[in-house]
Chain A
Amino acid sequence: MSKILVNGKEQEVEVPISLIDLIKRNDVAQPDMVSVQLNGEFVDRGDFNSTLVNDKDEVDFLYFMGGGSPINQQNLQIK
């Protein structure tokens, strides 16, 4: 087991682990809604599968945040 930093907190994982597996492991509900930095460098979304995380790496998950109201009032309808 190796130690990596995910959003500033230590996690123990078997390395190498792919970014996509790390995303799943961290229960990121919508990988489309996350931007990832590996050791301070942004990783293209298309490279989440092929990018490997190794011992002592630092990973940051940055999430899209709007304003808490994705509901367009006109389209609000209870089905």
Chain B
Amino acid sequence: MDFTEDQIQRYSRHIILQDVGVEGQERINKGKVLIVGAGGLGAPVALYLAAAGVGTIGIIDGDVVDLSNLQRQVIHFTADVNKAKVLSAKEKINQLNPEVEVITYYDLLTASNALDIIKDYDFVVDGTDNFPVKFLINDACVQARKPFSHGGILRFEGQTITVLPGTACYRCVFHAPPPPNAVPTCSQAGVLGAIAGMLGTIQAAEVLKYLTGVGDLLTNRLLTFNAKTMEFRTIKVKHNHRCAVCGDHPTITELVDYEQATCEIKSKH
């Protein structure tokens, strides 16, 4: 791949970065990354990967932009309300870096389409906000041997782990989706907007590290932080031999759609 003058300028801060250089930038430009969810996490991931010049960015999301999204989903603007999130995201990516090929899926990731969609990508980013899809992404990526980044945020906290074939997976750590009645009640929900950016940019950095082969990925380690104290912690986690999807005797051999837990706002008693 020969870079044009413009490309050398655009990516100069990567090219002069010793561990990345021309070769690393070429790998980024050839990279194909799927972002599941164009929301709080997907927004910063998409923007940073587009800026970095990731060659192909796939985005899957079945939602339209809602006014309540704008507090943290920084790829969507006020004028985008009611627009499909994938379209809104694609427009911003095109403006930021026209070299990036954006493939949009205005759809939900389900047990029936997951393997078919992820097969075309080098890396998958979980930017979803619900447990059924988080487990689906995990199981699909483990089965297809696709590297992926898990991300979760709640209130003032975030957590992320990178999963490669053979390293501890999300299910090794969390086993199964929480029972619907255990999902955080509304009074415990909500999220500080900037947390999404903090976690999403960590996920984006992991993608760029993976594509360039630089550094040590966040594998077999769960990174958690709490913005109230600004304390970060990495907890060593081991591949779980009893894991239902990647253990010695996997019981999950087909993908399933878990029931989506919902929560209703109730008045205080």
Residues of A within 8 A of B (CB): 7-8, 29-30, 32-33, 35, 37, 40-42, 45, 60, 62-73, 75-79
Contacts and interface: CB of A to CB of B under 8 A. Distances in A.
A70 B130 contact: yes
B182 A32 contact: yes
Contact of B186 (A33, A64, A70): A70
Given A30-B182, A33-B178, A62 B235 contact: yes
Contacts of A72: 260, 262-263
B264 A79 contact: yes
Nearest to A72: B262
What class of interface size applies to chain B in its complex with A?
35 or more
Contacts of B173: 35, 42, 62
SS of A interface (majority): loop
A71 B263 contact: yes
Nearest to B157: A65
A29 B267 contact: no
Interface of B: 37, 39-41, 66, 128-131, 134, 152-155, 157-159, 172-175, 178-179, 182-184, 186, 188-191, 195-196, 222, 224, 233, 235-238, 240, 260-267
B186 A66 contact: no
Contacts of A42: 172-173, 175, 238, 240
Contacts of A75: 262-264
A33 B222 contact: no
Given A37-B237, A40-B238, A62-B222, A68 B265 contact: no
Given A32-B178, A32-B179, A68 B154 contact: yes
Contacts of B128: 66-67
Nearest to B132: A66
Nearest to A68: B191
A76 B265 CA distance: 6
A60 B174 CA distance: 13
Contacts of A69: 129, 189, 191
B40 A41 contact: no
A13 B159 CA distance: 28
